[in-house]
Amino acid sequence: MGTLVKFELKKLLSKKMNIIVIIVCLFLIILLFSMTGKDFTTTDKNGNSYKGTQAIDIRKEQIKEISGNLTNKRIVEEIQKLQELRNDENNLVTNSYGELDFSPKIYNEYLNNRLNLLTNINRVYADYNASYITELFNINLDEQKDFYETRQQRIEEKLNQNYNGKTYSNQEKQYWLEKSKNIETPFEYDFYYGYSNLYSTYEMLIIGIIAICICLAPVFAGEYQSGTDKILLTTKYGKSKGITAKIIASYIFATVVFTIYLICAGRNSIFNVWYKWRKLANTTF
């Protein structure tokens, strides 16, 4: 069987058309994924704006300052620091809506680096759709409940809500509650752009799938077109091991080629902006 599989793989890899298709699609994937990070923007502590790969590198360095496990102690410290800054009038200005907000200096030096983290913490203690950190300004730290217990309670509340006449079934509720309980805590916070970028652009890998389909299409049909099927089917293993070998070789070929496409895509836009924190962003509702 091994010899037959090697033979089928050799046939797939020796066809010029297959090689051309793989190389062309590889070039397209590298080109498309290399462009996905060009719109990424960030600002440094001085308020200077950056875009593209330079912005990614700067953001990664910024996140290093606050990366790590989100223990309850760490969360309390983050909230406490935020409240201290909020309670100092020298750190506040009146924004275009006539409301008090942090000054550009405080925003650039402190809040810019923590806004996403604090926003997700705020969603546990505030309204489900809260997009800012206002609830954290007034939360009583002496009465604050365990973050992860509170998060679980909020998930249960949301699962029991009515959504325009539609509700979760008991089976669905149990499923999501178990999913939530099985998440390892404390959460780990780090730069998340890599996976979020993959999630928004993964459909471009369809190019690789199309290439694989083109290469594998003649595996069986080619034998019929050339007329060699009549010979193969009359051999000892033509109807058994021969067919199995073609299928195994096709799976191996597809897996290897798609893995190469994924690695090449990742080198340009995914794995070079490593992510360790998807849990908090996607499970706090």
Is residue 99 domain-shared with residue 13, that is, in the same domain? Answer: no
Residue 160 counted as domain residue: yes
Q: Give dist(CA 253, CA 5) in Å, integer.
A: 11
Note whether 180 and 155 are within 8 A (CB).
yes
Same domain flag for 167 and 207 = no
Look at the chain and report how many structural domains it folds into.
2
Instruction: Indicate whether 127 belongs to any domain.
Output: yes
Are 172 and 93 part of one and the same domain? yes
- What is the mean predicted confidence (pLDDT) over 204-229? 75
**284: closest CA among 185, 213, 218, 216?**
185
Q: Are residues 86 and 181 in the same domain?
A: yes
pLDDT the model gives residue 83: 92
Q: Is residue 50 part of a domain?
A: no
Q: Is residue 21 part of a domain?
A: yes
Instruction: Note whether residue 45 is domain-resident.
Output: no
**Burial of 213 from C-beta contacts in 10 A (0-12 / 13-18 / 19+):** exposed
Same structural domain, 77 and 179? yes
Query: Span 256-270, mean pLDDT?
Result: 73
Same domain, 160 and 200: no
pLDDT at 279 over 90: no
pLDDT digits (tens, 9 = 90+) for 25-81: 988 888 877 776 677 788 888 888 888 778 878 888 888 888 889 999 999 999 999
**pLDDT value, residue 21:** 92
pLDDT at site 223: 59
Q: Which of 158, 189, 220 is the last residue of a domain?
A: 189
Residue 166 lies in a domain: yes
Shared-domain flag, residues 164 and 211 = no
Is 57 inside any structural domain?
Answer: no
Burial call 219-229: b when 16+ CB within 10 Å, e when fewer = beeebeeeeee
Give the Cα separation of 128 and 225 in Å (integer): 61
User: Which of 143, 162, 189 is at the close of a domain?
Assistant: 189
Domain that holds residue 29: 2-39+196-269
Give the DSSP letter string of 63-89. Answer: HHTT-EE--HHHHHHHHHHHHHHHT-G
Question: How far from the centroid of its chain's Cα atoms is residue 239's Cα?
Answer: 44
171 domain-assigned? yes
- Token duo for residue 269: 């836009």
Residues 176, 208 share a domain = no
Per-residue pLDDT reduced to its tens digit, 151-185:
888 888 888 888 887 888 999 999 998 988 888 88
Whether residues 74 and 157 fall in one domain = yes
Distance CA 3, CA 50 (A): 55
State the alpha helices, DSSP H only, in the chain: 2-14, 16-34, 53-64, 72-86, 104-106, 112-125, 134-138, 147-159, 170-181, 193-201, 206-216, 218-226, 229-232, 241-269, 279-283
pLDDT at residue 175, rounded to an integer: 92
pLDDT score at 282: 46
Residue 225: the pLDDT is 54
Domain match, 179 and 253 both: no
Residues 200 and 184 in one domain: no
Kindly state whether residues 80 and 133 are assigned to the same domain.
Answer: yes
Provide the mean pLDDT of the chain: 79
Label residue 207 by pLDDT band (50, 70, 90).
Answer: confident
> Is residue 136 pLDDT above 60, yes or no?
yes
pTM over 0.85: no
